[in-house]
Amino acid sequence: MHDDRSLVEARLKRVLEERIRPAVYPESVPLEVAVWHAPDEPVPVAEGLAGIPEPIAVGARWGAPWGTSWFRVTGTVPQEWAGKTVEALLDLGFDENMPGFQCEGLVYRPDGTPVKGLNPRNQWVRIGAPVAGGEEVRLHIEAASNPVVLDYHPFVPTQLGDKETAGSEPQYTLTRMDLAVLDENVWQLVLDLEVVGELMAELPVDSARRWDLLRAIDRALDAVDLQNVNGTAEHARSRLAAVLSAPAVPSAHRISAIGHAHIDSAWLWPLRETVRKVARTTSNMTALLDDEPDFIFAMSQAQQWAWVKEHRPEVWARVKKAVADGRFVPAGGMWVESDTNMPGSEAMARQFVHGKRFFLDEFGIENEEAWLPDTFGFAAGLPQIIKAAGSKWLLTQKISWSQTNKFPHHTFRWEGIDGTRIFTHFPPVDTYNCSMQGREIAHAARNFKDKGVARHSLAPTGWGDGGGGTTREMVAKAARLRDLEGSATVAWETPKEFFEKAETENPEPPVWVGELYLELHRATLTSQAKTKQGNRRSEHLLREAELWAATAAVRAGFPYPYEDLDRIWKTVLLHQFHDILPGSSIAWVHREARKTYEGLAAELNGIIDAAQRALAGEGTTSLVFNSAPHAREGVPAGGARTPAAQGETALATRVGGGHVLENGLLRIEIDGRGLVVSAYDIEADRETVALGRAANLLQLHPDFPNMWDAWDVDEFYRNTVTDLTDADEVVADGNTVRIVRSFGASKVTQLLSLAPGERRLLIDTEVDWHETEKFLKLAFPLDVHAERYASETQFGHFHRPTHTNTSWEAAKFEACNHRFVHLEEPGFGVAVVNDSTYGHDVTRTVRGDGDKGTTTTVRVSLLRAPRFPDPETDQGVHRFRHALVPGAGIGDAVREGWRINLPERRVTGGQEVAPLVGVDRDAVVVTAVKLADDGSGDVVVRFHEAHGGRASATLTVGFAFDAVEVVDLLERPLADEAAPGWDGDRIQLVLRPFELMTLRLRRS
């Protein structure tokens, strides 16, 4: 037989595009259109409907950036259309390739009832099926003219990312506003041909099934009269029926399709627009559920559900009904799909507390899966948090984006730092926006790495990022793929149904130990420094507010601010979304975030101040309140008293220029350039700074990644570096040395101080930053030979190699830490602690005296200056605080990390404050002391082993209690956990390495 394959394939493409698709709507009449433009921000629905519209014609430009226009469309269904299916086709000026990234609309009836959303892949509204003819049509469209920020030429700097700079130029052209007849036979023929043609293209050329499909397509196209497509569509479909009914082979891969719309809670749009995106998507999905009995839709992020409840009660009623029917499924059990690298221990825990509690309170549904398809890598402390929240599964897709190494599994158990293992799935479809295309389904089956032991995978199906969700076309394709020879099989299932099947068929999958590092988007650990500082500061202020409010409530009858703390926590958790905290959103988002954090800080400081004054009482004694989990200067953790006196720090002139600071524990030499050339541990008789090198060295790199500007730093940035060694000023005052440097258009002022009695050199850095596409680092070359180093993560720390033996290690050239990085050789360690930075790198080099061993350099990432999506990223004044801690063990690193983030507070009063609870071993770190969320007055204490070893400790309770329970993160008793033994006010604790535990103490 002659090979005419390419001829038939080309025929299919042209006939489908030029003849069959246009025949889906064979008849149409124009609608009359009028528009009212809201003057500023979006208005309530009633106000939008009441606006006085003016006529507008198809072809007219509309929509200033970030504006809202209310279109009114009216018309009459022609009498001759009686008995036919009629739809309104409402094209606001869509580009079909940009669902979620363009203008969008929500359609309402005249009474304000929402109908469905409009987006580039969903432009229709059903009028009747069938119609009687003569119906009057009147619809209103709340249209958002969101500008295209990420265009076909991506990552081009733009001012469109902030309403204050975006201008007023209309963004869109009104394209089509018609009533049209839908020919369902032609619509079905389009989908038949798409499914058969897409499947055919994925099969081997020498496959008999491929040629069966090719011949069927040829016969179907022969049956289409190109001058009468509508009259011949049914006959053409009959010629495809046989190949579409051939069943899949028994060994076919099985895909659980889950309707989904991954909606970024903010990204290339502000938070207020996400509220509307969620309303449009949920309107669409509840309507689709009504039309498609097999379809199931899952939505994560409790915050987005809460927005629907608050802002769109009519949509909420439909959502609640669909949830009750088991077809609109709450997923993930988190407040938002947060970043998981940077949120602190308690914040990561509270993501699950508030997310799961919302779904439990609203629907009585307990989520067992964590759902994080788009998060930029996963910290090694996360598995035990998932388990402590009462969940047991994790789904993500993002690791497939890694640039260097291909992850070896799709289904596995992920082991965290404490040994907890979580059953985890990476969908081999490699997208969280599956649209049921043949190439996606075939890729999932081919790509699946667990063949031979499993055959199930999951496919989140629907347009995401900017929302939209599943379309009727996707559902129709899935129906054809339910049981089709040559294809994986597809069935709509809930996340729970998928995970139960996957775990049953593969009960002993391989194990992956440690972090799930994304080999991409590493610069998100540094971009938008003030957003990151706002998060870190808010986390610690919340700790203080809960600690002192709980202490004051128990001791002084202080009214515990349940509602305020709940609201503030949810606001902080929202801003940990994986495009806000990572710094990859538009300027508008980060401008609002800075303002929000300022307001939260003022509110939390007010709570803290009121509680501390209630505890201190009247008097003139200066009391230090210690919010850190370790005692300092004689002030116990969680208590207040007058601190013990410390020694003195001496200041001397250094030989050769510069200054020397010494306090009996450390001797710090700062040369005339303002660089630390010696950090000598007097007790250990040991130098900390690498021979011939200098610490506190600011280094500037060019920073222009190949793509994803705010997200990425590419390894070649290291090829060029400028050491900032020239100083405008190096002067000493007391126990502080002040250094001023200028470079480019920027200026740095540093204060280096050595306090009496402290084993840390404090480094306060102020940067007036006005660079573009540059990366600023702060380097500490250390005379320590270390093959690995520790960086803090949630409820513990994680070790990474300092070498680059393999591509896996080499790919981690920028990594995350929380409050500290620690490295050591036997007998001597060093820590670098921080109050607000996350990104860092650690490298090895040969000692300065020749090939005599290696030293280790820790570099802290301070600032970047990408131009997309925010062209003014990080411009302005920033303040950072770091400390170099010579001679530090891991316990010292933990302690100093907490201390630098929780500075002492001084209050004048009349009485010392004893801690509400105290632990007699530093390895056991208390992360939260609070009153129970249920308002019972019970005290909840959360703690973990922080040094990486086993720990026995005594928890001393400073109030009367009559019961102790081990509880989960939601403060519910754990039936399989026996309460620890206790005698009087002492509770005996035994913890394994990094074990997290929460106790609920029932007050007498």
Q: Name the residues annotated as catalytic.
A: 374
Question: Quick one: which H or E segment has residue 844?
Answer: strand 839-846
3-state secondary structure of 400: helix
Amino acid at 560: Y
Q: In 3D, which of 136, 142, 233, 144 has the Cα closest to residue 182? A: 233
- The 10 Å Cβ neighbour count of residue 955 is 24
Distance from C-alpha of 969 to C-alpha of 485, rounded to nearest angstrom:
47
Cα(275)–Cα(264) distance, integer angstroms: 11
CB 63 within 8 A of CB 215: no
Residue 702 burial by CB count (10 A; 0-12/13-18/19+): exposed, middle or buried? middle
* 383, two tokens: 């598995």
What whole-number distance in Å separates Cα of residue 379 and Cα of residue 792? Answer: 10
Cβ 993 vs Cβ 945: under 8 Å: yes
- Dig out the tokens for 374 from the structure: 């788009």
User: CA dihedral defined by 726, 732, 737, 738, rounded to 10 degrees?
Assistant: -60
Sheet of 666-670, strand order: 650-653, 659-662, 666-670, 676-681, 686-687
Question: From CA 596, how far away is CA 446, in angstroms rounded?
Answer: 47
Count of residues making up the chain = 1004
Calpha distance 820→818 (Å, rounded): 6
b/e sequence 750-778, b meaning 16+ C-beta within 10 Å = bebbbbeebbbbbbbbebebebbebbbbb
Which strands make up the sheet holding 951-957, listed edge to edge?
917-919, 951-957, 986-991, 982-983
DSSP state string for 70-137: EEEEEEE--GGGTTSEEEEEEESS--TT-TTSS-EEEEE-TTS-EEEEEBTTB-EEEEESS--S--EE
Q: 542: part of which helix (H) or strand (E)?
A: helix 529-556
Cβ neighbours around 39 below 10 Å, total: 9
- In angstroms, rounded to a whole number, what is the distance separating the alpha carbons of residues 259 and 292? 12
DSSP SS3 for 213: helix
Describe the chain by its helix, strand, coil percentages, rounded to 5.
30, 30, 40
Rounded Cα–Cα distance for residues 986 and 772 (Å): 57
